[in-house]
Structure 1
Amino acid sequence: MSKVFEDYFSELQADMVSICLEYVDNMAEKIYIYCSCEETIISSDFFYCIGGKVRERHKLNDGNDMNKSNKYIYDTSPKRQDMVLDILIEDIKKIMTLCKEYNREMPTEIKLVYDVQKNSLKAQYKYDLVYYNDSVKTADDIAMEWFESIKLENNK
């Protein structure tokens, strides 16, 4: 049986999850991945739920209370973050190529939530412009709004 569009699309999303999981050495409860592709702008971001707290990728060690006697230190160096972001951007470009090859509409926004414990991936897609025509907001603003909403939701 040959692969179809959905198989390739799923593989690329799985690659995104994999690199984000590697970034935290498989030590997270949930991974949140934001992908954006509007007109000439491609952007991505990622953050986590660790120890019941939603944390930005560069603040994983802030208030780290996983095991006070043997505190785990995440490598959140800018170089490591950039490596993950580069891979996410490459995967978005591959999704763009895939959509063209199969004559499918390219999502303008993809939000992935991977539950590590349940090994389940949920995805939301948008096909309308989210920020491109906005005179103030950028892709980073939209990603940060999502982060803040997840953080609020988690703290209820």
Structure 2
Amino acid sequence: MRRGVFFHILLCIALLPLALGVSSGRASAEETAMAAPYAIRVPKTTDEDFAEHRMAAYVDATFMIPFYAYPAADKAYIYCTDEGDRYYADCFFEVNGKIVKKDQLNAYRRKDDPRIYDTSAEQQAALLKSIAEGMQSVQSFYDYYREPVPTEIRIIYDIKGGSLEAEHSYTEIGRQTKHPALLFVNWMHDIRREHASTEYRRQASARRKGANVLRLP
């Protein structure tokens, strides 16, 4: 009788962790399968795969661009900085061959474009919020791969061509002794000068070709 009682007590002690939901320290195959989707796993990828996945993450930052500027804009230029405690995002566009601010779509749209684009302060704020939320996805991407997040990202989005280009910098913005807004404006001016120079060369080339045509007998 005493032996039966003793065995019953031992059995209860052995089953107590299961009754309380306490793991014995060795996970079952089912428990492992259930926990697998939530485990942190760093995939083994090539540099090409990493760059491709990173570019796909940047697509989130461009989500609202077509709704805001298409078909007036040919390209969008997105500028973002992330210094941990300070974040900045803004954009400008190429419209009808001109580099313009985000509130100038209607002033520079093509003459045959009958649309009136909503460039109100509220819509601009919504656009920048969408870019910022998209860049949070980019940050999550870097965290997933356990890679440092760039302090400065410049994205050129070819809206009509459906392609993206991106440049990254890991230099601390504070060391540049310039506010991100000023860096953004400087980039816009650089693109404007580059665009104007390219357009000038194109027109000059066209003029030379035209002059050559006139010389033909």
**Unaligned ranges ≥5, structure 1:** none
Residue 145 of structure 1 corresponds to 186
Contact 1:5 1:98 in 2 (8 A): no
Residue 91 of structure 1 corresponds to 134
User: Structure 1 residues 9, 71: CA separation in 2 closer, same or farther (over 3 Å shift)?
Assistant: same
Amino acid at match of 2:65: C
Equivalent pairs: percent with the same residue? Answer: 26
Give 1:55's match in structure 2, choosing from 100, 118, 122: 100
User: 1:89-117 deviations in whole A, cap 9, x for unaligned?
Assistant: 12222222322232111111111112233
Higher mean alpha-carbon deviation, 42-51 vs 96-105, is at 96-105
How far apart in 1 are the matches of 2:52 and 2:189? 32
How far apart in 2 are the matches of 1:65 and 1:98? 36
Q: List aligned pairs for 1:1-20, cutoff 5 A.
A: 9-20=54-65
TM-score of the two chains, using structure 2 as the length reference: 0.62
Residue 31 of structure 1 corresponds to 76
Tell me which stretches of 4 or more aligned residues in structure 1 moved more than 4 Å: 2-8
Residue 132 of structure 1 corresponds to 174
How far apart in 1 are the matches of 2:126 and 2:64? 9
SS in 1 for 2:70: coil
Where is the strand percentage greater, Structure 1 or Structure 2?
Answer: 1
Where is the helix percentage greater, Structure 1 or Structure 2?
Answer: 2
Q: Offset at 1:17?
A: 2.1
Q: What is the root-mean-square deviation of aligned Cα atoms in Å?
A: 2.3
User: 1:44-89 deviations in whole A, cap 9, x for unaligned?
Assistant: 1111101000110012222x35116x54321101111111111111
TM-score of the two chains, using structure 1 as the length reference: 0.84
Amino acid at match of 2:75: K
**Relative contact order (C-alpha < 8 Å, sep 6+): which is higher?**
1
User: Structure 1 residues 88, 65: CA separation in 2 closer, same or farther (over 3 Å shift)?
Assistant: closer
Give 1:66's match in structure 2, choosing from 85, 103, 110: 110
The structure that has the greater radius of gyration is 2
Amino acid at match of 2:160: Q
